[in-house]
Structure 1
Amino acid sequence: MSNYILTLKLRTEKYQEDILNKRLEVGRRIYNSILGDLLKRYNTLKQSKGYRLALKMQKGKERNKKLNDLNKEYGLTEYLLHTHIKPMQKKFKKNIDSSTAQKIATRCFSAFQKLMLHEADKLNFKKCGELNSLEGKSNKTGIRFKNNQLVWNKLIIPVIIKKNDIYAHTALQDNIKYCRVVRKLIGGKYKFYIQLILEGIPPKKHNNETGEVRHVRNEGSVGIDIGTQTIAISSQKEVKLLELAPEVSIIEKEKRILQRKLNRQRRANNPHKYNENGLIKRGNTGKWIYSKNYIKTKNKLAELQRKIAAKRKQSHEKLANYILTLGDNIKVEQMNYQGLQKRAKETTVNEKTGRFNKKKRFGKSLENKAPAMFLIILDNKLKFDNKELRKINTTSFKASQYNHFTDEYVKKKLSERWNKFECSKIQRDLYSAYLIMNSRWNLKEADRDLCFDNWNRFKELHDLEIERLRNEDRTIASMGI
């Protein structure tokens, strides 16, 4: 059964905010205590003779059974963790109930599993004020939503639900699985929300003026060629070349100004921490001095980063809804974004200037535009209709190299943004999206017959899009316009 989240604001008073802050702090301390205990047990397990012998065994069922038995013996299972947290929870029972404490233990175990599976290098403990959410296991005990109120250990806080919020009223008719209390720092002040995890499919949004359903989903094939900053979309209805989260680029300029100001203030307050060449002194263990103006600038930067994250997510949601109106059979190239954000290993020299080339790659673009996050959002929306984002095999498909007219693969430089055919000149990303749209069922190659059949329609829509882009005030250099 699919789930979705409804976030509602709490109408809190000062004393209620103090209680919520205290409970989040208690939750943080329990989390760190459990995480520290898990780490000790894990280090003891690694030093045991049985564990070393199990690692030498041949991979298979017997080895897995041996490792699972050792995990149970040393208390490294989620169930045993729930038992271990009981006496700790009793000391804080006025603030943290048993189901919330068990969810904290589950959260610790999830973080610990990443370490065991070598998905993470170390466990990160929560600093003061870093734990900003707590959740329960059901809507029957612990953190509950009842009669449009948050009910939690004798604390009752009304929830703000607007009368004209049709989406919220419709969503509340679904079954509530469990609730989560969330704290957000907005404009330098903490605001509290309740998140309801609901069973089912999110209700469709309607236009308040006309009453019509917004973002009506349609059937059909859609090809997507997504880059670090742009996305090319090809369908039978429309062909588009768009910038990912364009609102972020505008706010990013303000962020850079604040970061430079913060750096100047930090250097002015701590001259003893820097060498004459501007680098930080090694071995200087003295405390950093932070002025009131520095803290104000830091808070401004934090607020700006929150806005950037919110704008980026909102932009991705809108774009995903738009793509779903074009079709439901959505295909995209597989991309390794972690590899793209890593710095280059080899040192190269520029032939013209004789200087060393920079080793940085696409880390900044990926941080600002978050293309992987967009694909997750799009895939989640498709899952509500029991469908999924289909990923083509890039090693065999090679959309950027294929030419369906000659049935040949030709390598191109990254700077080459146009494909020159005998009959026309086509933008490279849009052509790749077109080929992906017309891929075969196995997602390993383009269907050449389909490419020829749909070409005239694509060419017409392509020319309209290029004309639109040329009339735009601002375009990204990678578009080649």
Structure 2
Amino acid sequence: MANFTVEFPLRTEKYQEDILNKRFEIGRNIYNSLVNVTQKRYKEMIKTKKYRDIMSSLVGNKKIDKGIWKQIDDIRKQYGMLEYSFHKDVKKMQKHFKDNIDSFTAQKIATSLWKSYETVFYGNGKKVYYKKYGTFNTLEGKSNSTGIRFKDDMILWNGLEIPVIIDYSNYYEYQAMQCKICYNRIVRKFIRNKYKYYVQIVFKGNPPVKLNADTGEIKHCIGDGDVGLDIGTRTIAIASQSDVKILELADRIQNIENQKRRILRKMDRSIRSTNPDNYNEDGTIKKQGNKKVIWHKSNHYIKYQNELKELYRKQTAVRKYQHECLANYIISLGNKVYVENMNFAGLQRRAKKTEKNNNGKFKRKKRFGKSLANKAPSMLLTIINRKLGYYGEQLIKIETFEAKASQFNHFDGTYTKKSLSQRWNNFDGVKIQRDLYSAFLIMNIADDLKSFDIDKCNDRFENFYRLHNLEVERLTGQKI
């Protein structure tokens, strides 16, 4: 069953904020202690010959027998590398802090650590990290009956009673409060040089519909039909039977590189003047061997650090808001949304080969790291998939390397490789923007998700070409 989350501000007193800050710090210490315990077991496990042999057999093996996964699970169980083992570990730690952290909240801390290990076991994660001071800002329960509870517009937790600010005149918030509560999460956010506290209530079911305040009509409805998306590092091309668009992702995200550079330069000057003994004569940091280097931060340094935090926070908020709005628009065009299966993590990595250009200079190894960090295309796809899930649909990913949308020509069924700089297709005098045409082809993918339905392409092309010309006219201001 689907869940949805609504965030409400908390009306906290100063003493309540002090208690919450203390509990966040206790939570961080429990998390780090758990990392310490589990890492010892993990390192012992990966040293065993049996485990290393099994893991090496998985490399490059596309068809993996279920028996191998059972052997891996048995070894992990033997070394206590399971979620329930983490729960047992955290139980011993929690009893020392039972006046502040309840057992269910402690179990959720253990679960969050287990998710980090899952990225190492099954994803692209390489290492499990400790939480630095001030970076542990979330504590959540497991149900609304124990631990962190919501009752009578109050959050109740181990002696704390904090009022929740709910606007019952807001139709969305009122309807959300009629749903059954799964569990609650307390969040601390650093906004404009001070901490603010919120509760995120996780409700069962689908989120309530939003209404237009003026007309009373439903704001966001799901459409009917096929939608093709050709998503890049900075832009997205959208093709449907009712609209064709090419849009910049999160276009309100500002270029903060200059601001970041100035703040980082101030921070560097400040930390150097405060800690002169930590630097060599040539400006490099002294190596202390096994001894930990102690850094003293001045008030000016902390001020600049907070300015940088605020920059990142604003960027994050704007990006998420714009992605949510764009996702609403996309699902309003159709209920079958198709997109190529993209490896964004691979695009972020620096190039491995060292190459020279025609002038004999070395090419830069940087790729699309900053664009992907600023525009977050993968986040947009996650949001679209979540919103489709409320209607029993999901984002459909096609086989990129077999379909080859950027190379295909549906008029004659041929494939032609094109350079990235070639932005237009010319089909016997018919000029079509390359990304929009790719989105059109993706919209008309066959049932096998590997080839294109030529009949659909032919039937829909005339309408697509009319909408394509309107979009090009909008972008260039010139009539086609």
Instruction: Settle same-fold status: TM greater than 0.5.
Output: yes
**What is the match of residue 17 of structure 2?**
17
Contact conserved, 1:57 with 1:63, CA < 8 A, in 2? no
Contact conserved, 1:262 with 1:294, CA < 8 A, in 2? yes
CA–CA distance in 1 between the matches of 2:70 and 2:239?
A: 49
Which of these residues, 329, 351, 368, is aligned with residue 344 of structure 1? 351
**What is the match of residue 82 of structure 1?**
87
**Counterpart secondary structure, 2:350:** coil
Aligned pair 1:394/2:403, yes or no? Answer: no
Which deviates more from structure 2 when the two are superposed, residues 285-294 or residues 445-454?
A: 285-294
**What is the match of residue 36 of structure 2?**
36
In structure 2, the CA distance between the partners of 1:393 and 1:72, relative to structure 1 (3 Å rule), is: closer
CA–CA distance in 2 between the matches of 1:172 and 1:15?
A: 28
**Counterpart secondary structure, 2:254:** helix
**What is the match of residue 476 of structure 1?**
none
**Counterpart secondary structure, 1:212:** coil
CA–CA distance in 2 between the matches of 1:258 and 1:392?
A: 43
Which deviates more from structure 2 when the two are superposed, residues 105-114 or residues 173-182?
A: 105-114
**What is the match of residue 280 of structure 1?**
284
Contact conserved, 1:133 with 1:183, CA < 8 A, in 2? yes
**What is the match of residue 150 of structure 1?**
155
Contact conserved, 1:255 with 1:305, CA < 8 A, in 2? no
CA–CA distance in 2 between the matches of 1:57 and 1:230?
A: 40
| Cα shift at 1:104 | 1.5
The letter for the 1-side match of 2:212 is N
In structure 2, the CA distance between the partners of 1:260 and 1:426, relative to structure 1 (3 Å rule), is: farther
**What is the match of residue 3 of structure 2?**
3
1:22-72 CA-partner distances (Å, limit 9, x unpaired) = 111111111111221111223344456876798799985665555544444
| Cα shift at 1:98 | 1.3
Which of these residues, 299, 302, 311, is aligned with residue 292 of structure 1? 299
In structure 2, the CA distance between the partners of 1:216 and 1:190, relative to structure 1 (3 Å rule), is: same
Which deviates more from structure 2 when the two are superposed, residues 117-126 or residues 391-400?
A: 117-126
The letter for the 1-side match of 2:308 is L
Q: Output aligned runs, 1:61-100, within 5 Å.
A: 64-65=69-70, 67-100=72-105
| Cα shift at 1:381 | 0.7
Aligned pair 1:133/2:138, yes or no? Answer: yes
In structure 2, the CA distance between the partners of 1:82 and 1:270, relative to structure 1 (3 Å rule), is: closer
| Cα shift at 1:84 | 3.2
Which deviates more from structure 2 when the two are superposed, residues 83-92 or residues 260-269?
A: 260-269
In structure 2, the CA distance between the partners of 1:235 and 1:275, relative to structure 1 (3 Å rule), is: farther
Contact conserved, 1:401 with 1:409, CA < 8 A, in 2? yes
Q: TM-score, normalised by structure 2?
A: 0.90
The letter for the 1-side match of 2:16 is Q
The letter for the 1-side match of 2:306 is N
Aligned pair 1:447/2:453, yes or no? Answer: yes
The letter for the 2-side match of 1:376 is T
**What is the match of residue 417 of structure 1?**
423
Q: Output aligned runs, 1:216-255, within 5 Å.
A: 216-250=221-255, 254-255=259-260
Aligned pair 1:112/2:106, yes or no? Answer: no
CA–CA distance in 1 between the matches of 2:449 and 2:53?
A: 44
CA–CA distance in 1 between the matches of 2:95 and 2:294?
A: 38
Contact conserved, 1:248 with 1:308, CA < 8 A, in 2? yes
In structure 2, the CA distance between the partners of 1:237 and 1:64, relative to structure 1 (3 Å rule), is: closer
**What is the match of residue 61 of structure 2?**
none
| Cα shift at 1:80 | 3.3
**What is the match of residue 313 of structure 1?**
320
| Cα shift at 1:85 | 2.7
**What is the match of residue 333 of structure 2?**
326
CA–CA distance in 1 between the matches of 2:240 and 2:69?
A: 47
The letter for the 1-side match of 2:414 is E
In structure 2, the CA distance between the partners of 1:234 and 1:124, relative to structure 1 (3 Å rule), is: same
Contact conserved, 1:5 with 1:197, CA < 8 A, in 2? yes
CA–CA distance in 1 between the matches of 2:256 and 2:285?
A: 33
In structure 2, the CA distance between the partners of 1:169 and 1:451, relative to structure 1 (3 Å rule), is: same
1:92-147 CA-partner distances (Å, limit 9, x unpaired) = 11101111112122222222343444743222111222110111111000000111
The letter for the 2-side match of 1:244 is L
Which of these residues, 189, 204, 214, is aligned with residue 199 of structure 1? 204
In structure 2, the CA distance between the partners of 1:51 and 1:431, relative to structure 1 (3 Å rule), is: closer
**What is the match of residue 379 of structure 2?**
373
Aligned pair 1:437/2:443, yes or no? Answer: yes
Aligned pair 1:190/2:190, yes or no? Answer: no
In structure 2, the CA distance between the partners of 1:46 and 1:169, relative to structure 1 (3 Å rule), is: same
Q: Which runs of no fewer than 5 residues in structure 1 stay unpaired?
A: 473-480
Which deviates more from structure 2 when the two are superposed, residues 337-346 or residues 267-276?
A: 267-276
| Cα shift at 1:173 | 0.9
CA–CA distance in 1 between the matches of 2:123 and 2:416?
A: 39
CA–CA distance in 2 between the matches of 1:432 and 1:315?
A: 24
| Cα shift at 1:294 | 3.1
In structure 2, the CA distance between the partners of 1:273 and 1:442, relative to structure 1 (3 Å rule), is: same
Which deviates more from structure 2 when the two are superposed, residues 449-458 or residues 202-211?
A: 449-458
CA–CA distance in 2 between the matches of 1:48 and 1:395?
A: 38
Q: Which runs of no fewer than 5 residues in structure 2 stay unpaired?
A: 59-63
Aligned pair 1:169/2:174, yes or no? Answer: yes
The letter for the 2-side match of 1:364 is K
Which deviates more from structure 2 when the two are superposed, residues 327-336 or residues 35-44?
A: 35-44
Which deviates more from structure 2 when the two are superposed, residues 372-381 or residues 440-449?
A: 440-449
Which of these residues, 390, 407, 410, is aligned with residue 404 of structure 1? 410
**Counterpart secondary structure, 1:192:** strand
CA–CA distance in 2 between the matches of 1:419 and 1:56?
A: 45
User: For the aligned residues, what is the CA RMSD?
Assistant: 2.7
In structure 2, the CA distance between the partners of 1:407 and 1:282, relative to structure 1 (3 Å rule), is: farther
The letter for the 2-side match of 1:199 is K
**What is the match of residue 467 of structure 1?**
473
